[in-house]
Amino acid sequence: QVQLVESGGGLVQAGGSLRLSCAASGSIFSINPMGWYRQAPGKQRELVATITRGGSTNYADFVKGRFTISRDNAKNTVYLQMNSLKPEDTSVYYCKMEIRGMDYWGKGTLVTVSL
């Protein structure tokens, strides 16, 4: 059984930085796309960034230039470096990984950005 565990969320002031991590464990052969999504209260979950196994990245417009996604295939881990955080970035952040054709989600980590 595959499990994804996120870490690194917390409270930060506007303009600050946080680094999220998401590690997969269990029966894993290889992981194809990895991604980060977020969901604010009362809103739908939205894509933040994705990265392929080969390292190609895709970002939502609202994080371009501020967030950087990366991955360590040997550790089955994906990261999200978040800089210049804004109050509107406050959300629960979820990682998603495609493993053997199935999508797996973490339980989420809360990021709160204060003024």
CA distance 45 to 73: 26
Kindly state the tokens that stand for 112.
Answer: 């709160």
For the chain (115 residues), the mean pLDDT of every run of 10, in chain order, is 94 98 88 94 96 95 97 94 97 95 95 97
Report the pLDDT value the prediction gives residue 6, as an integer from 0 to 100: 95
Report the pLDDT value the prediction gives residue 28, as an integer from 0 to 100: 82
Are the C-beta atoms of 48 and 35 separated by less than 8 Å?
A: yes
- Neighbouring CB atoms inside 10 A of 66's CB total 15
Report the pLDDT value the prediction gives residue 32, as an integer from 0 to 100: 85
DSSP letter for 37, please: E
Report the pLDDT value the prediction gives residue 29, as an integer from 0 to 100: 77
Are the C-beta atoms of 85 and 67 separated by less than 8 Å?
A: no
Kindly state the tokens that stand for 113.
Answer: 């950005």
Report the pLDDT value the prediction gives residue 81, as an integer from 0 to 100: 98
Kindly state the tokens that stand for 74.
Answer: 């040997």
